[in-house]
Structure 1
């Protein structure tokens, strides 16, 4: 049995030494375990490091993933990334976004959405980059010894205050398996566990068990299956010839969105730096509603399996659109797929759900319910700010901070999930009303209404309170 503990007690001051008696040891500095080394986990780690809070990251995969499509950051998160000293890294791997052009598969143009105004209005152009490039940039800012790969969470245990010999404030223990050491388990201890392990979170399931043992009622809705009606194949091409794909010569990234004539699929093309194009193919699917908890559990298990479909399923969706025309020099979608290494093509599910339970006394979830990288980063800003202000490491003080975290973030996160759902409807639902709504949104919306809507979305651009502030450069100031 191997054991690893996050215990590096600070040397006591003279005053501390005068006061130390058996059972009255000084409180240790806050220790945190982050479960998951995705974008949310890495950003949280960087923020904790800047706050002077010790942490380790536990990641179940044996190595970091190189798959994924494009990711977009707006001023909502670019301002805090700037504050963290990451903006130059982001700028080096990204392209500034200029517009989205929406067409039907038969070539009919529905409309164009402008994006160039964001720099003047909010201080930053929207930045578009390949997800693997972003991961590498974030990993370069986290000490390698802080990330423990191949650690699959098996159990999480909260210890009440005063009952842990290593720390009188109480701790939480995470027990993991390790794919390199089949017969060994690893234990990690800290004051707080932050679950950044995605939609099908092992930390959440362990947290539910703890709450149930304490007699806390978890809402039934939290056990229901995820809502998803789209599956998706993504990839990033190898470097392409700009003469064949002239969009690559442009200084800005121009999105191309192609809607299937029957709206059963849509295709997104996003030019990146280094002469690459990121692409995404979305296809409709259907998941029945669960009638009881057992059915819900079964669907969750099926969804989890579907979320890791392999090459065969990805190839099936690719073949559906292979012969469709690209908007570049008489090329096809198939040409773009063929110019993408198979190792970076992956199939994922587009799912959403708003969980009502975010924390227990010493466990908290971040970026919960598949809200995306932007919401995970905004979660981290609020959470790390509150952790930096903790009066003590007691379960009461940590639990109160986690309650404030959920209170501050819940409505915004809920709105983000709703907006994501509405966006999916806009690109995939049939009917004359949806045709009119698409035409209005993408072609006939008055400029003033478009700006007002954008201002509302970009209104909150939070930064960390314990770091030097960065200027609010836009003409429309943050609130």
Structure 2
């Protein structure tokens, strides 16, 4: 059995955004870990992403915020148009820095992936390791890979995407105890094609000269298609083409249910893509809370691991569910083509005061979990921040803090 890591360690399957950030967090926490990536060479793909106050404090804690800002532009607004380029509405973020302490920033996903990858020691990632199955008991967990190798550890974290091998193995093992709803496929309401251009000629595209992110969306008429473009550093443009599926198409286009839970020695963190990059934000927040819970374990026992996962779920599930539900609503509002969705979009952009829209976005910024084993970043904005469970000295009582 191949296992060249210490006996007590965390195995992370997937070197995507969530897996890499978890690796960085465990590195800072002094927790042994190893990342297993199915690709032999990572080719970071993707389009524009946007971050705000609900995750940027973690980058500040890690000393990575300045690096992220170098590959980002502040985004003053998201502007929406019809195909004739008549303004439909949009969202303004100019108040965010004063209210939350951070700008809303936009960047290309490949740039973020490269940044995170550069902060994970090369020897901590094993490539060409496609996980086929897992076995677990009270003594730990073992993964088996397609190249015939196997590895053991105390905790296995599946960060390997929507069609996760870890998730599927976990579901097979837990099939008898799962509710029927967890076994159903989820219909995909939209298909999205995304990409990032090479560096373009700023003389031909003058908007590239501005050191702000121009975020524009065009909603189709009598068509299932919508488009979006975002300018990012290095004279690049991130783009997306979104197609809404009708009911029949949606029934035939499904993706696996990505529910996660505190079952035995495997936990799930997600790296999916939805509006506005909340999939990645959720994956990062999952990683932060999971790292905190692992750090808080007094010793590596089956009971302590189970307790850590239960703590993880209790802290994360309500917030993750809220974001998933919100994503469905935002997706329909931004890209929906049905009569009711168009009406909803018109009412929101034309009848709901901007102040109410802004307050809702700022409310979301109040949840911003941080690493409890690193110095806290104080709240520099005026928006109150939700209390967070804090790591405690091994013999001290548990407390809560406001950051």
> TM-score normalised to the size of structure 1?
0.75
CA contact under 8 A between 1:352 and 1:421: conserved in structure 2?
no
1:405-451: CA deviations, max 9, x gaps? 11211121111111111112112334554334323333443233123
1:7-22 to 2 correspondence within 5 Å? 7=6
Distance 1:101 1:455 in 2: 18
1:94-105 to 2 correspondence within 5 Å? 94-105=72-83
Q: Is the 8 A contact 1:353 1:417 kept in 2?
A: no
8 Å CA contact retained: 2:226, 2:335: yes
- Does the residue aligned with 1:408 lie in a helix, a strand or coil? helix
The answer for the alignment partner of 2:263 in structure 1 is 360
Q: Does the 8 Å contact 1:263/1:428 carry over to 2?
A: no
Q: Which residue of 1 aligns with 2:141?
A: 172
Which structure 1 segments of 5+ residues have no match?
9-29, 161-169, 179-184, 291-295, 304-350
What is the CA–CA distance in structure 2 between the aligned matches of 1:465 and 1:286, rounded to whole Å?
45
Q: Evaluate the alpha carbon distance shift between residue 137 and residue 91 of structure 1 in structure 2; reply closer, same or farther with a 3 A threshold.
A: same
Mapping for residues 287-366 of structure 1, pairs under 5 Å: 288=248, 303=254, 355=259, 357-366=260-269
Aligned length: 382
- Asked if the contact 2:26–2:32 (Cα under 8 Å) also holds between the matched residues in 1, the reply is yes
2:168 to 193, 198, 205: 205
Alignment correspondent of 1:189:
152
Tell me by how many angstroms 1:285 deviates. 2.4
Q: What is the alpha-carbon distance in structure 1 between the residues aligned to residue 246 and residue 131 of structure 2?
A: 31
Deviations 1:280-326 (A, max 9, x none): 00012246599xxxxx9xx6xx75xxxxxxxxxxxxxxxxxxxxxxx
1:151 paired to 2:129 = yes
Aligned equivalents of 2:366 and 2:350: distance in 1? 24
Query: Shift in Å at residue 452 of structure 1?
Result: 1.8
| Structure 1 position 232, deviation (Å) | 1.5
Relative to structure 1, is the Cα distance of residues 70 and 413 closer, same or farther in structure 2, using a 3 angstrom cutoff?
Answer: same
Give me the whole-angstrom Cα distance separating, in 2, the residues matched to 1:35 and 1:89: 26
Name the residue aligned to 1:238.
198
Structure 2 spans left out of the alignment, 5+ residues: 387-403
The equivalent residue for 1:388 is 295
Matched, 1:372 2:270: no
Contact persistence 2:92–2:358 (CA under 8 A): no
Q: What CA distance in whole angstroms lies between the structure 1 residues aligned with 2:145 and 2:94?
A: 47
Residue 85 (structure 1) aligned with residue 45 (structure 2): no
Aligned with 2:90: secondary structure?
strand
1:115 aligned residue: 93
| SS of corresponding position for 1:66 | coil
Alignment RMSD (CA, Å) = 2.2
CA contact (8 A) 1:34 1:58 kept: yes
Quote how far apart the aligned CAs of 1:209 are.
2.9
